[in-house]
Structure 1
């Protein structure tokens, strides 16, 4: 898969799955615009460790849940690059609690980042893709969208919403040469699950038929396939990367 000359925006790009996706795109020749929410230290560490391809890496701090911030970001993108080929909506957070004890702000913030953030970033990339009648939009969702776990109602709702958004958007832009899909990773060894207890980790690994958590680079390879030109007939789909969960 050769992405030389293509311009890709990856949200949540400086850690975990997002970083693996950004690194994989860079390794295959893409220009990567990495969006991150606020961790300047992680962003600088990514830049320093990027190695080959750092000249094609551009990092921007953007609150994806802020409509005006997303609009301003894309004004810069249009001026600098004119068109965008790939958008990976990867930014996501967890704020776990059972519904009866969940704070309203934790419900809202998870929905704002995970779901509204995906809307905002997709809303403004579409005109830049329509210019060239080509584009690839991907959402990093989760099996929680249909499984649900106790204490993750906000997270599950946001991920189910991503799937619904993807399904509708894929039908709106298909005639313009733009595909829209979801990649749905299960338990992946990243910072997002670092707060799990030892007992939880053992329990969750027993749930996975391959008996291990996935690696970020395994998710990245699936993303690159759907982001490639050869995946032109795949749209409106959800690809599970779950070890059989």
Structure 2
């Protein structure tokens, strides 16, 4: 290898640490998922970004990635459906022959006080947020075990740790993700697979932006760092966990000190 070629390899490793890796990011049409997809693509990964309904928003994210020289495609998948998740993984393996990274980010909220919560509102949140992670992960885990490599990162929430008024369904789903993460990490560590969770606090997303100003001010007043987090700060935590080879079964809190 010539000095020039060696320099190019070093630069690629330094600036594109995820080169030649294939990553799936579920729920990537907006917010945290969109930012994770952009960051992974910027670091060299080929990103498969999934969405369930917002095709226009998803295509905008893909356009932003490709405009900057990244590689990404969009695939529609409802992770609450086992067959959809199975077809998603089959299609990615058909196109790229492997999956190195799975980011389970897709999630919804159906907030209501428990005594007024319907079974349908409970089931919808559990099916997307918790069953969805089972569906996607179970569809890819044997492939990762055979390859002796994999990075699985599940996006949980501070609500899964501390609870939230009117969010029993959401809190249960996000707390379940933490138990899932730790148990799967124990089962797969010997196979070169790491399984971790990121627990965002209150982050500047479309949902938070829609809150009344006084509500946002009240939230910020309780955060020791006195501000909301950003989607890029969540993506940074995800990137760290992808590159960390001796970290598994952990929940990384990105919440400005609100929950310790």
Deviations 1:124-150 (A, max 9, x none): 111221232000000010111121111
Q: Match for residue 162 of structure 1?
A: 177
Q: Is the 8 A contact 1:13 1:19 kept in 2?
A: yes
Q: Quote how far apart the aligned CAs of 1:106 are.
A: 1.1
For 2:123, what is the secondary structure of its paired residue?
helix
2:220 pairs with 1:192 = no
Q: Decide which of 45, 69, 77 is 1:53's aligned counterpart.
A: 69
Larger Rg: 2
1:163 Cα deviation from its structure 2 partner: 0.3
Per the alignment, residue 67 of structure 1 pairs with: 82
Aligned-partner SS, 2:162: coil
Aligned length: 242
C-alpha contact 2:208 2:216 (8 A) present in aligned 1:
no
**Aligned partners of 1:35 and 1:123: how far apart in 2?**
17
In the superposition, the TM-score normalised over structure 1's length comes to 0.95
What is the 5 A alignment of 1:135-154? 135-154=150-169
Unaligned runs of 5+ in 1: none
- State how far apart, in whole Å, the 1-side matches of 2:251 and 2:52 are: 26
Supply the distance in 2 between the matched residues of 1:58 and 1:79 (Cα, whole angstroms): 14
The aligned runs of 1:111-130 (5 Å cut-off) are: 111-130=126-145
1:243 aligns with 2:259: no
Q: TM-score by structure 2 length?
A: 0.90
Per-residue deviation, residues 58-108 of structure 1 (Å, max 9, x unmatched): 100100010011111111122222221100001111110000111221111
| 3-state SS of 1:44 partner | helix
Cα pair 1:93 1:192 within 8 Å, conserved: no
Aligned partners of 1:140 and 1:182 also within 8 Å = yes
Once the two structures are superposed, what CA deviation does each residue of 1:31-51 show, in whole Å capped at 9, x if it has no partner?
A: 000011111111122123321
- Quick one: higher RCO (CA 8 Å, sep 6+), 1 or 2? 1
SS in structure 2 opposite 1:146? helix
